Chains A and B, each alone.
Chain A
Amino acid sequence: MEAKTQESPKPAEDRRWRMVNRTMRLHGNEPHALIETLHAVQESFGFLEPDALKYVAGALHVPLSQVYGVATFYHFFSLKPPGEHTCVVCNGTACYIGGAAGILKGIEAAIGITPGETTPDGKISLVTARCMGSCGLAPAVVFDGQVRGKMDPPAVLEQIGRWDSHDA
C-alpha cells in the first residue's frame, strides 16, 4: 500500500499507461493479474522499469518484493531497456544441433557483446531463446520480431551489418 501512496497516479492520457491500466481493470485489479500486467508493461514500454514495478505493486496490492521476484523469475521479462534492434538467436535443441553456437560466436566476435547485452551505442541487443518452435527451420534467428530460418553466421552478420550501417 505504501508504494501506492508514493507513486503519483499514472496519467491516463499517456497511451502506454492506459493499456496497463486496462489490463489490470479487466482482471478486477486482483493480485493474480500480476503476470498479465507485467506483460502489458513490457509490451508498452519495452522493458520493466523500477517505477513501473512500484506502480503495479501498488495498484494490485502485491508486495513490491513479490513483483520484483516475479519479474526476475521469468526469462521473458527484462529489467533493462532493449537496444534499437533486437537479435534473438534460438538456442533450442534443433538449432543447437544445427549450429546455433557458431552463429552466436560469430555475432559476439563481430559486435563484441554476449547474450543479454546491448551494444554501448544502444543499437543492438543480443538475446538467446530457449526454443521458438521453429525447429523445422533450424537454426532460427529472430530479427526485430521477424523469424528467419536456416540461418548461418554470414547471413546473420549481413543482417546485423545492415542495421549498423542504415542507422549510422
Chain B
Amino acid sequence: MTLEELQEIAKIEKERQEGFQHRINVCVAAGCLSCQSASVKEALEQEVNRRGLDNSCEVKGVGCLGLCTAGPLISVEPAGTYYREVTVSDASEIVEALGGSPVPRLDISGQLPFFQRQQKIVLENCGKIDPERIEDYIAESGYEGLYNALRTMTPAEVVDQVVRSGLRGRGGAGFPTGLKWTAVSKAASSTKFVVCNADEGDPGAFMDRSVLESDPHRVIEGMAIAGLAVGASHGFMYVRAEYPLAVKRVKTAIAKAERLGLLGNNIFNTTFNFDVKIRLGAGAFVCGEETALLASIEGKRGAPRPRPPFPAEMGLWGYPTLINNVETFANVAPIIRKGGNWFSGIGTEKSKGTKVFALAGRVNNTGLIEVPMGTKLHDIVFEIGGGIPEGRKFKAVQTGGPSGGCIPDQHLDMPVDYESLAKVGSIMGSGGLIIMDETSCMVDVAKFFMEFCMSESCGKCVPCRVGTTQIHNVLCKITSGEGKPSDIPLLEELGDLVKNTSLCGLGQTSPNPVMSTLRYFRDEYVAHIKEKTCPAGACNINGSKEAK
C-alpha cells in the first residue's frame, strides 16, 4: 500500500457516493438493532428497488446516530433530515418524500440542541460511515494519520504531538496520555505491546461500545500509531463478551485492514509491522483495571497486582505495555492528522479536547453525545438531554459509574472537566451520565452501587472484599428501616478505610457513591434512620411502602 493507492481508494469511494442523489442512513448499532432497525433497512432497500431508484438513492447501514431513545433512527442526506421511531410500514412514505419536504409524522429537526450543541471528534464518522466497509473510512481521511506518522514523522515526533495535544486518558482517571506514551517509548525492550481497554464495565456507559460498533477502524488506526510511537509491533484489544456486535465489527475491520496491508508486515512499505488481536472479556468488572486486564489477557483470573511496577515498565508477560482506553485511541488519528496544537485549542485549561457521554436514566434524550470539555452539566442535562420527562424534578446526576458520585442541582452550573468533577466528590469516569429524578432514593442508589462493588470485588485484598460487604450491610439495614443514628459515622469510617487501604482502583473508589450521597443527601439517610420513611418512596420500610 502506498499513499497513492490509499488516495485512489478514497477517490473511487467518493465518486461512488457522489453518484447517488440521496442517501438514507439507517442506524445499525446495537441500540437501534434491538428496535428492529435491520428490517427497516431491508424494507427501505426493497422500496428503493421497487421504485427503480437504486441508481440515485443509497440505503446505507451506519453506526450510532446518537439519539437512542428515538430508535430506530434514520437520517437522510443531503437534506439533513432525521426520522425517529421508523417502522417497516413507513418505508414507502420516506422514499416518496425524498427530495421534497420530510414526512412530518416522523421528522425530528436536525436543528435540535441535541444535534447542534455537540462537537464531534471521536464520533465524527459515527452515523456517517458504514462500519463494515473500510473504503468508507478511508474516504473520510482514514489511515492518513498512520501514513503521516510512518512516512513524515519520527516516533519521537509522534509522541511529542500527543504530549502537545494535552490528551488525557478517557477511561476515567485522566492520566496524561503523552506521559504514558513517553514512558513506554523510553522503556528498553525489543518486545512491547499496545493494549486497547475495551472492557467497558461501568453500568450505564456505552460510549466504547458505540465507537467500536460505528467506527472500528479509527481505534485500530490509533493503536497502530501508538505501536509505531512506542516501538511495539503487537496489539491486543480486550473487548467485553457482552458486546457481540462490537466484537464482530472489530474482527471484520481487522481482517479488512490486513487485506489492504494497513495492518501486518511492512505497513506502507516501511519496516513497521503491527498486528491486532482480539481478546474477549468474560464479565468481570475488575478487568477494567489495567493490571487485572493484563492478567486476563494472559488467561488468568482477573486479579490486580500492586503498582509499581507499572505496565509501562512491566506489563503483558513482563514486557513494557501501553494501555489506553478505546476513546483515547479514537482521538489519536485526528491529533496526528491535524496536529497536537489543534486539539489543545479545544476544551479547558487542563482538560483538552472533547468527551463522549452516554446519557441515560430519567432524561428525555437518552443516547450518545460528544461535547467539548468544560461544557456545563446544566447544558448537557437540560439542553442536549432535553430535561426530565413527565415534568418531574431533577434530583442528581451520577457520573463515573460505581466509582463516581452523585452531583446535586446546586452544582449543575459546574463545567465538566476532570478537576471540577473531582472537586465535588465525583470523577469523570468513562463517561456514563445517569440522571435521576425525585422518584430515586439516594440511599437506595448508594446501596445499588455498593452491591455492585461487593459482588465485583475480586477478593484479593481484605479492605475491598470485607469493607464493601460491611458497607452494603449497613445500607441494607438503613433502607429496610432498621438503621441507627450511629450508622452514619460508621459508614464514613468504613468508607475512609476502604478508600485508603484497598489495592486497586475498584476498592479505592467504591465508597464514592456512598460518600457523595452522604455529602449532598444526608437528610435522606437521616429520614430513613430517624423517621423510618423513604422520602422518594422507593424503599420498602416496614412493609409500608411497596418497592418499585
A interface residues, Cβ below 8 angstroms from B = 30-36, 38-39, 62, 66, 69-70, 73-77, 91-99, 101-102, 105, 129-138, 140, 146-149
Contacts and interface: CB of A to CB of B under 8 A. Distances in A.
Interface stretch (B183-191, B357-365, B464-472): B357-365
Interface string B229-243: 000000000000111
Contacts of B241: 39, 76
B34 interface: yes
B31 A134 contact: yes
Interface in B78-125: none
Given A133-B243, A136-B366, A149-B34, 4 more contacts: A73-B301, A74-B284, A93-B398, A130-B242
B203 interface: yes
24 contacts: A32-B299, A35-B299, A39-B241, A39-B280, A70-B300, A76-B241, A76-B281, A93-B204, A94-B360, A95-B203, A97-B362, A97-B436, A97-B445, A105-B547, A131-B205, A132-B243, A133-B30, A133-B209, A135-B206, A136-B31, A136-B368, A137-B34, A137-B68, A146-B34
B452 A130 contact: yes
A137 B203 contact: no
Interface string B10-38: 00000000000000000000110111000
Interface in B350-376: 358-362, 366-368
A149 B35 contact: yes
Nearest to A69: B301
Given A33-B299, A146-B34, A93 B361 contact: yes
B502 interface: no
A98 B35 contact: no
B282 A39 contact: yes
Given A35-B299, A39-B241, A140 B204 contact: no
B42 interface: no
Contact of B69 (A31, A137, A146): A137
Contacts of A140: 34
A40 B126 CA distance: 31
A31 B282 CA distance: 17
B158 to A, nearest CB: 29
A135 B282 contact: no
Nearest to A147: B34
A148 B31 CA distance: 9
B283 A74 contact: yes
B201 A97 contact: no
Contact size class for B? 35 or more
Contact of B302 (A39, A74, A132, A136): A74
B71 A70 contact: no
Contact of B282 (A32, A38, A148): A38
Contacts of A102: 547-548
Nearest to B538: A101
Nearest to B300: A70
Sorted from nearest, which 5 A-B pairs have the closest CB atoms? A136-B68, A92-B203, A74-B282, A76-B283, A133-B206
B31 A130 contact: no
B200 A133 contact: yes
B123 to A, nearest CB: 14
B296 interface: yes
Contacts of B449: 93
B160 interface: no
Nearest to A67: B299
Contact of B283 (A32, A36, A130): A130
B419 interface: no
Contact of B297 (A32, A70, A99, A148): A32
Interface in B494-548: 547-548
A127 to B, nearest CB: 11
A102 B298 CA distance: 39
B432 interface: yes
B434 interface: yes
Contacts of B298: 32
A93 B285 CA distance: 14
B448 A93 contact: yes
A138 B366 contact: yes
Contacts of B483: none
B251 interface: no
Contacts of A130: 201, 203, 242, 283, 285, 452, 456
B34 A92 contact: no
Contacts of A74: 281-284, 301-302
B405 interface: no
Contacts of A70: 299-301
Contact of B242 (A77, A129, A149): A129
Nearest to B298: A32
B477 interface: no
